[in-house]
Amino acid sequence: MAGADFASRVTLNDVAAAAGVSIATASKALNDTGRMSVETRGRIRRVALEMGFRPNALAKSLTSKRSFTVGLLTNDTYGRFTLPVMAGISEGLIDHGVSVFLCTVEDNPELAKIHVDAMLDKQVDGIIATGKRIDKPLPVDLSKLSVPVVYALTAGPSDAVTLLPDDQRGAREAVQHLVAQGRRRIVHVTGPRGFRVVQERADAFAEALERAGLPVSDAAILRGEWSERWGHEAVEVLWSDDAQPDGIFCGNDQIARGVIDALRERGVGIPGDVSVVGFDNWEIVAEQTRPPLTTVDMNLKELGRQAGQALLRLVNGETVQRGIWKLPCTLVVRGS
């Protein structure tokens, strides 16, 4: 019964749609903030009452001094990681009438400062910092701002709230899947040595092999670029040896696609002769690979949703646990 009540709960989005106004306008009307006519405010409140809308605790706690906006700052200009994070943030905040606006800073400190100043001028309630590497901070110091800051998929201060995927756990699940498929000669083809995720996934790869009672050697880990070309080159290296692998765990989906293409060119059956697992679940790559790629999803949308919720709690003056939050990854099994 409780589950049915939850499923049928009227949301702020429902009220806004029924009243024919934006979510932000509906939120301001119900919180007695913003500039609008008495008739509009009254109509929105009547619609909410008739629909049985009950604001949740987070929405109630937003004060009249809030702008109902948060800023998202990123150096991921391509958007590969930022877009799903932003989708999750928006999903997590939309029911509270909070909007998100995105600023890209590349690796330019001056540009970053301009965007942060603009966010503060617009009186954002808080800022979420995100990027393309978990071990590289954005080119601007956000630690002394007058608004709360949450970090997602980028490095933050030790006393900040930072949300990251659990890369090690995801890597272990990838290797365990290969072992469960009967693979015993498993190698890891990954990215540049200087990336923290490369080391974390390599460590987890070695640990999972040891737990499975399989041999581990430095030669089983090949480091290169985050590219299809490197995946192709890695297969050339591996097939120049007599001891060829029957399972390949790749550091990202682009590498995995290059590996699969190179194996197919050699007439190697996938997954008959060799099973391949990627990392990222970049669907535009994974689903179009032949065969479709089994890979680890970092659940970036959920990471963004939780980052948005954490920021909202900070805005509301609630206590939020500081430090690194590790969110679980998910193995997506397809055809490789």
Relative to beta strand 294-297, strand 330-332 is: antiparallel
143-155: per-residue pLDDT in tens?
889 899 999 999 8
Does the pLDDT of residue 64 top 80, yes or no? Answer: no
Does the pLDDT of residue 63 top 50, yes or no? Answer: no
Tell me the pLDDT band of 55, cut-offs 50, 70 and 90.
Answer: low
Full set of structural domains in the chain with CATH = 2-55 (1.10.260.40), 69-164+300-327 (3.40.50.2300), 167-297 (3.40.50.2300)
Distance CA 9, CA 51 (A): 10
Closest to 210 (Cα-Cα) out of 183, 250, 175, 241: 175
Decide: 329 and 169 in contact? Cβ < 8 Å: yes
Average pLDDT of the chain is: 89
174-188: per-residue pLDDT in tens?
999 999 999 999 999
Does the pLDDT of residue 74 top 70, yes or no? Answer: yes
CB atoms within 10 A of CB 200: 19
Decide: 70 and 100 in contact? Cβ < 8 Å: yes
Relative to beta strand 247-250, strand 330-332 is: unpaired
Structure tokens at 225: 């670029």
Closest to 41 (Cα-Cα) out of 53, 31, 56: 31
Decide: 39 and 46 in contact? Cβ < 8 Å: no
Is the preceding omega at residue 271 within 30 degrees of 0, hence cis?
Answer: yes
Distance CA 90, CA 275 (A): 37
pTM, two decimals, is: 0.80
182-217: per-residue pLDDT in tens?
999 999 999 999 999 999 999 999 999 999 999 888
Structure tokens at 282: 């970049």
Please give the pLDDT value at position 5.
38
Of 3-17, 101-115, 179-193, 317-331, which range is least confident?
3-17
Distance CA 232, CA 237 (A): 9
